[in-house]
Amino acid sequence: MSEFEHITYCVDESANDTTIDVESFLTDFEKSNNFLNDSLMFVEMKDYDLNYSVKQLLLICDYYNISKGAIRLNKMKKQDIIEQIILFEHDSENFDVVQKRKQMWFYINELREDKFMKKYILWPSA
């Protein structure tokens, strides 16, 4: 006789008879997802606004080749430049280049914080 022989259970499906409206569930999910995306974009915009100079933002645009073509960044205000960067970064086709740029900027900041290496890094101040 094993120790599990005395375990019994009962499944009562009638007590849990709830129907889920899939379409309303998906609509609610989409609304919350849009809210989260909008909130994330707002936070990213604030980060760029508070922690980056216009020169640094223009370097990011150069890295992304945003300044090529019809967009004239040198005539834009800081907020407009930030919007262009955010739009570029949230395009799924640009995922790889955005991740690479963020990695490179991380490395630059690490070098700038090193006592020895910081003298070799030319970087616009914030």
What DSSP string runs through the chain? --TTTT------TTTT-----HHHHHHHHHHHHHHHHHHHHHHHHHHHHHH--HHHHHHHHHHHTTTSSS--GGGS-HHHHHHHHHHHHTSGGGHHHHHHHHHHHHHHHHHHHSTTGGGG------
Statement: residue 1 has pLDDT above 70: no
pTM exceeds 0.85: no
Q: How far apart are CA 45 and CA 84, in angstroms?
A: 10
Reported as a single tens digit per residue, the pLDDT across 29-82 is 666 666 556 778 889 999 999 999 998 999 999 999 987 655 676 678 999 999
- pLDDT of 123: 74
Statement: residue 88 has pLDDT above 90: yes
Average pLDDT score over residue span 92-117: 94
Statement: residue 14 has pLDDT above 70: no
